[in-house]
Structure 1
Amino acid sequence: MGLQAVNLRVGDTVEQVVVDELTRTQLVMYAGASGDLNPLHSDEVYATRAAGFPSVFGHGMLTMAVSGRAVTDYVGDGRLRRFGGRFSGQVWPGDTLTTRLVVESIHDEGGEPFVALAVVTVNHHGEVVFSGSAEARIDP
């Protein structure tokens, strides 16, 4: 049995560490898996000397993907109906990311219960790097 409407309240909050000390290897692995081979994410010399950044940094979609994992871990497989958001900060090697989910509403659509969630991911300094929302089907 999955997440149940009877067990949820507006304002319920859960948090999950989704990345513990992001590594350069993880950045390169994501680049290969996603096909986004922009050297800003994997070439330290290019990122620092040519582009002027302090280091390589994570893909925005990597941040969204790990945030999405927290959502699906909470609501269960095959239940997500909508997920989107905005990147608001860069993610650097060594960052630990935590995603917080807040129940915004529990509502019925066509006789089926759904939960709407606020999704916020912060780094270990408490800076928001991703914010968005999700909606998923839940059990009654």
Structure 2
Amino acid sequence: MNVKLSEIAVGDQLPPLSVPLERSDLVRYAGASGDFNPIHWNQRFAEDVGLPDVIAHGMLTMAVAGRLVSEWTGDPGAIVRYGVRFTRPVVVPDDADGALVTLSGKVAKINDDGTVKISITASAADQSVLGGASATVRLPE
């Protein structure tokens, strides 16, 4: 999108983003990250440890939420700080739909140094999955 600092104000909403996740996405992420924990691919194991089903990797969920900001800025390198708390797992059923992670964000603060704080909301199955999610970005003038 290539947004500029002079074009934004506190309270501005980022364009919403919905990202589908299927079991095959979890397999690809496991291969890329090296995280082959069976809670991310084996339903029986996930249920045996008390989960409702296979869950997405927390870092995959975090990456999906970061995509909201990088698509808005048009430059992933504009993100200078990013953090989240994992509040609920994203359950990924083994069906045609999988899970849908729904993301929104807003300009929370324009800092004195010209950076911008973005508050991020992420949910799946109508429940918040990240808490305190925010990114600080540096935008062109």
TM-score normalized by structure 1?
0.87
Equivalence for 2:95? none
Equivalence for 1:58? 56
Equivalent-residue separation in structure 2 for 1:103 and 1:65 (angstroms)? 19
Amino acid at match of 2:136: E
Confirm whether residue 133 of structure 1 aligns to residue 134 of structure 2: yes
Confirm whether residue 32 of structure 1 aligns to residue 36 of structure 2: no
Conserved in 2, the CA contact under 8 Å of 1:17 and 1:96? no
SS at match of 2:55: coil
Equivalence for 1:42? 41
- Cα deviation, 1:98-123, whole Å, max 9, x if unaligned, reads 111110112342xxx22111111111
Equivalence for 1:115? 116
Equivalence for 2:5? 5
Say how many residue pairs are matched. 134
Equivalence for 2:88? 89
Kindly tell me: are residues 15 and 84 of structure 1, through their superposed partners in 2, closer, same or farther at Cα, counting changes over 3 Å? same
Equivalent-residue separation in structure 2 for 1:80 and 1:52 (angstroms)? 36
| Structure 1, unpaired ranges of 5+ | none
Kindly tell me: are residues 106 and 51 of structure 1, through their superposed partners in 2, closer, same or farther at Cα, counting changes over 3 Å? same
Conserved in 2, the CA contact under 8 Å of 1:15 and 1:98? no
| Structure 2, unpaired ranges of 5+ | 93-97
SS at match of 2:111: strand
Conserved in 1, the CA contact under 8 Å of 2:101 and 2:122? yes
**Structure 1 vs Structure 2 CA RMSD:** 1.6
TM superposition shift of 1:135 = 0.6
TM superposition shift of 1:16 = 2.7
Amino acid at match of 1:60: G
Amino acid at match of 2:22: T
TM superposition shift of 1:25 = 1.0
* Correspondence for 1:106 among 96, 104, 110: 110
* Identity over aligned pairs, percent: 39
